[in-house]
Structures are given as C-alpha cells and as structure tokens.
Chains A and B, each alone.
Chain A
Amino acid sequence: MNELIAHEVEPLQIFLIAYGSVGAIWMVGIIAYFSIQAAARGQGWGGSGVGRSRPLPRVRKWLRFIGASALLVAASLVLWPLLAALHIGDLIRRWVEKRNRPAGLVRSFKVERSHLKEPLMVEEIELSEMVSDPLGGVPWVPFGHLNSEWEAFKRQLHPTDQIYSFAAEWQEDWGLTVLIEGYVIKRGARLSPHFVVSRSVVQAH
C-alpha cells in the first residue's frame, strides 16, 4: 500500500518541482525584463512611493521591499501561468494596435490638393502673420515663437516654387479629427514641405 502511495505521489512531486522551476525562471526573466526597461528609461524601479511626493523612511522602505519581494516570489512560483498569459496578451494587444494604427498621424500628415486655399507671396504671409502682444509675451516677428521654423521653411524655397496656404481636416491617432492650417510649398505637382501654424481638435470620437 505504501509503495502504491509512493508511486502515485512521485509524478505529482515531479510536476510540482517542474512547475515551480518554470515559475522561478519566469520570475528571473521578468525581473531582468523590467530592469532593462527601467534602465532604458534612466530610472530604478525599486524606489517609488504610492501617492507620496517625499521618500519613505528607510525602515518602511526595507519592509516594503521585503514584502513586495515575498509577494513577487510567491506569485511567480504559484501564478506564473496566469502572469505569463497576461503579459503575452498585453504584448499581442500592443502589436495588433501598432499594426492596425491608421495612417494620418501628424508626423505623416501630407498636404493634398484639396487642402489648398490660395497662393501667396512670402511678404504677404509675413505681413499677415506678424504676432504682437501688448504685454510683450512674444517677439514681434512673423509667427512669433514659431519664427525659427518659418525661417527654416523659407530656406527650402526654390526660385520657381509657389507657397499656398492650406487647411485640412485630418484623422489622427487616438480617434481625433483635427484641423491643421499652415503653408505649403508647391513645386510642380509636388506639395512639400509644409509649415503648420495651427492644429486644433475638431472632433473627438
């Protein structure tokens, strides 16, 4: 009878050892993963305080560290399949979101012919876009605090180029429709580069 019980228990022991070992490997892996991520952000991940702007006293910090470590070990050894499933699920969700992200982010925004308003001379634009402020909060130059970007835009002008003003409703990431206004260089059939003066949310979906 004892031999029979010993025989029945052995596979269970093997299973538990294997289960715990995978959990331990998982724990080491996850600590390494988060350490690398924290290092990449230039931050440690052991010194935070929930809801506090001042550091905790040293004793409480150690107690919290020991408690958190014990919880991490217990959770990793026992609940590692659940933690692994959650982590993998999160990675898949991020990958799917990235893959399905619609084109139309500001950085990939392109002026199209339908966005064009009117051709303008540089002098006309600079006259109409002078920014002044009675309280002196902006330099008295075209486009104010955005003047250096305007100057960089102008440097890209070729002698035969035209500048058009434009206004475009654009679908952005995060479900926003924004109105983007500015100026674009028309070089033959090509509309590029552009200079954005204003971007405002028209509709949040």
Chain B
Amino acid sequence: MTAQFTERLLLEGEAVAMCTEPLSSYFSLKGITSPFKYTCTALWRGYQGVWEIRQDRLYLLELDGEDAEGKQLSLGDIFPGYPDRVFAHWYSGTLRIPRGKQLKYVHMGYGSVYEEDLLIQIRRGVLVGRDVQHNGVSDDPSAPDGYRVSTFTVLAKPKPEEESAP
C-alpha cells in the first residue's frame, strides 16, 4: 500500500495535513459503501476532504472525488441540502496532525513519522482535548518539512484522443 494523501484541516487560520479520515466513520455508521472510486494508489479512499475546526467543532467543508461513473462528487452529493458545511457530529476519535520535519518515511498509509504530532480529541464532533506528542528532533538538514508522499500511481481514465494508445 502506498503512502496516502492526507485530508486538509483548517486550524486556527492555517491549512494543515490531517492523517485521519472522519468521513469513513460516517459511511461505516450508515452501513454504506463509500461512493468514491479510487483513482490513485496514494488515495485509496478516492476523495480528499477539507475540514475545519471552528468554535471547537469539527466541520467538513469540501469533498473532491469521483464516483464509479467518473462524475465529480461534492459535499452536497453526500449530504443533500448541506453543500457548504457539515457538522461532523458522527465522529469520535483523535485527529492526527503531523508537524515538523520528517524523521522516517514509511511508504504505507500514514505511517511516516514527523518531529511531532498534534493530537486533537473529538467527541461526537466536538473538540474535547488536544495533546502534542514529541517523536524526536531531526538532525538531517535535508529532511522534508511537512507531510509528503514520495511516489504514487494515477490510474488513468481512457479519453477519446488516447484510445489508440496502449
């Protein structure tokens, strides 16, 4: 399994990488399969979401992904009547936000280790606590700063002008 692209979280005015997928809990609780189709080895879930913590609550603001027919799906397709903002009251757990330089790259899931992790505890969509976990200090000046995925494969969709190519 390839390292995965993260979700994006707007936290205190800054967009950060979030190594947690609260929307998967929603599909699980509803007992439905995600309608998103996976098109890239670094995005098995098939979508990227933009989240926000505002007034100590977790919100889903955007979704970007395609269904099996290649139709672009947005927030309003998953939450009809709520195209701009959805309160993630279904989610309980810990949001992991990696910060600092990369200490160890793991080409699987969200396995890479960074200097620290901001851990935000959410209970039914409401922020109930936050901790910082220190994982070490990088002594490598060339170590990447911030979350990154090294390689991935995009599964191309056949387009009319490419059909003659293999």
Residues of A within 8 A of B93 (CB): 200-201
Q: Are B153 and A48 in contact (CB under 8 A)?
A: yes
Q: Distance (Å) between the CB of B9 and the closest chain A CB?
A: 16
Which residue of B is nearest A178, CB measured? B93
Does B147 have its Cβ within 8 Å of any Cβ on chain A?
no
Q: Are A135 and B165 in contact (CB under 8 A)?
A: no
Q: Are A44 and B165 in contact (CB under 8 A)?
A: no
Q: Distance (Å) between the CB of A180 and the closest chain B CB?
A: 10
Q: Are B55 and A49 in contact (CB under 8 A)?
A: no
Residues of B within 8 A of A135 (CB): 54-55, 57, 59, 85, 87
Does B14 have its Cβ within 8 Å of any Cβ on chain A?
no
- B29-46 contacts to A, CB under 8 A, are 29-31, 37, 40
Tell me the bound Cα distance from A138 to B92 in angstroms: 16
Q: Distance (Å) between the CB of B65 and the closest chain A CB?
A: 14
Does A196 have its Cβ within 8 Å of any Cβ on chain B?
yes
Pick from B54, B87, B155: contact of A48, CB under 8 Å: B155
Q: Are B124 and A198 in contact (CB under 8 A)?
A: yes
A-B pairs, 7 with minimum CB distance: A137-B87, A47-B156, A200-B92, A133-B87, A138-B87, A65-B166, A137-B85
Tell me the bound Cα distance from A30 to B156 in angstroms: 21
Does B162 have its Cβ within 8 Å of any Cβ on chain A?
yes
Does B1 have its Cβ within 8 Å of any Cβ on chain A?
no
Q: Decide yes or no: A55 and B166 within 8 Å by CB, A106-B28, A144-B87 being known contacts.
A: no
Q: Are A149 and B29 in contact (CB under 8 A)?
A: yes
Q: Are A196 and B87 in contact (CB under 8 A)?
A: no
Does B105 have its Cβ within 8 Å of any Cβ on chain A?
no
Pick from A48, A138, A196: contact of B89, CB under 8 Å: A138
**26 pairs of residues in contact across A and B, judged by CB atoms under 8 Å:** A43-B155, A47-B155, A47-B166, A48-B153, A48-B156, A49-B153, A49-B154, A49-B156, A50-B151, A50-B152, A62-B165, A133-B57, A133-B89, A135-B85, A136-B85, A137-B59, A144-B87, A145-B26, A145-B79, A145-B89, A179-B92, A196-B29, A198-B90, A198-B124, A199-B25, A199-B29
Does B86 have its Cβ within 8 Å of any Cβ on chain A?
yes
List residues of chain B with CB under 8 Å of any chain A CB: 25-26, 28-31, 37, 40, 54-55, 57, 59, 68, 79, 81-82, 85-87, 89-90, 92-94, 124, 151-159, 162, 165-166
Q: Are B87 and A52 in contact (CB under 8 A)?
A: no
List residues of chain A with CB under 8 Å of any chain B CB: 42-44, 46-53, 55, 58, 61-62, 65, 106, 131, 133-139, 144-146, 149, 179, 196-201
Tell me the bound Cα distance from A173 to B105 in angstroms: 25
Residues of B within 8 A of A131 (CB): 87, 89
Which residue of A is nearest B59, CB measured? A137
Residues of B within 8 A of A139 (CB): 81
Q: Distance (Å) between the CB of A120 and the closest chain B CB?
A: 17
Q: Distance (Å) between the CB of B103 and the closest chain A CB?
A: 19
Tell me the bound Cα distance from A106 to B29 in angstroms: 9
